[in-house]
Amino acid sequence: MPLNIGQVVRERYQILALLGQGGMGAVYRAFDPWEQRPCAVKEMCPAPDVAPDKLAGLRDQFRREAGILATLRHPGLTRVTDYFIEGANEYLVMDFVQGKSLEDIFKETEHTPLPEPQVMAWARELLDTLAYIHSCGVIHRDIKPANIRVTVEGHVVLVDFGLVKLWDPRNPATLMALRGAGTPQFAPPEQMDSSFGHTDARSDVYSLGATLYTLLTGYAPPLVNERMFRDVRVPPLRSYVHSISPHVEKAILKALALKPAQRFQSALEMRAALDRRSSRANLTPPLWAWVLLGAVVLVLLCLLVAMGVLVMLAR
């Protein structure tokens, strides 16, 4: 049974609003009076017609998700604070992120391309977060605008690890029970078709690349099945928005390569590519520095002339 507004679960968490709902459960905004703070309650409430074997896998996945997220600590992630079973359902309690998802922001702007400096600032934070979870052996597998929330301070937080995978580089086939294959517009080919290989850190790189492409152009990249079977190419970002920096376009298109070996091999490698131009720009002095240098040179020349005049007069 879905939770009702005003209902209290575990004699503690008061349900305030429904944030989102799917076939396997829902996420609610709640309030924790013990700690006097808002929180999010994620409910595992599968449909009654789910096959028993699949239901067991989903429950196992939910428990594993709770266990994994409880070990992660990073500013770009939500903190899991509780897990419990009540009745026939299971629940996760997480920090509630005040703010909006990138999908909400995108809808508010009517899918108008967002400014590159802002998107790149978010990209750098997200890549730092991905580098952290990948170092912990965790792959998100469902990065998209709806799963990225912007806080009131303007920072981004990665949420909803419903398709999380424990990743062992020595055995990349180690999978958990999955709830789905991800969102088609943002999922890499290996997540849709195992003949392309197993999902790993490069799969999250692809999904983030698709997300950045969408935010910067106003259009999602072509679906992977169209690219694989109909040879549909990804349009250059600057065919939509001419002002996009060439190095940003190049980095995002590389992240969207169909073959994982042709993408960035890590989140940190992608971040370095996005930072490369700004690093070079920092080596070039700004205009005020040139003006100051010119003024110093002019003063030195005047002093030299004055010294020469004094020497001549002294003779």
Catalytic residues: 142
Angstrom CA distances, 300 to 293, 303, 304, 310, stand at 11, 5, 6, 15
**What is the distance in angstroms between the CA of the first residue and the CA of the last residue of the chain?**
105
In eight-state DSSP terms, residue 77 is B
Token pair 């790149």 in the structure block, residue: 120
In the chain, the amino acid numbered 310 is L
**In what side-by-side order are the strands of the sheet with 13-22?**
8-9, 13-22, 25-32, 37-44, 89-95, 80-86
The secondary element (H helix, E strand) that includes residue 86 is: strand 80-86
Q: Summarize the chain as % helix, strand, coil (round to 5).
A: 45, 20, 35
Nearest Cα neighbor of 40 from 77, 67, 88, 68 is: 77
- The two three-digit tokens of residue 2, written as one number: 């879905």
Integer Rg of the chain from CA: 26
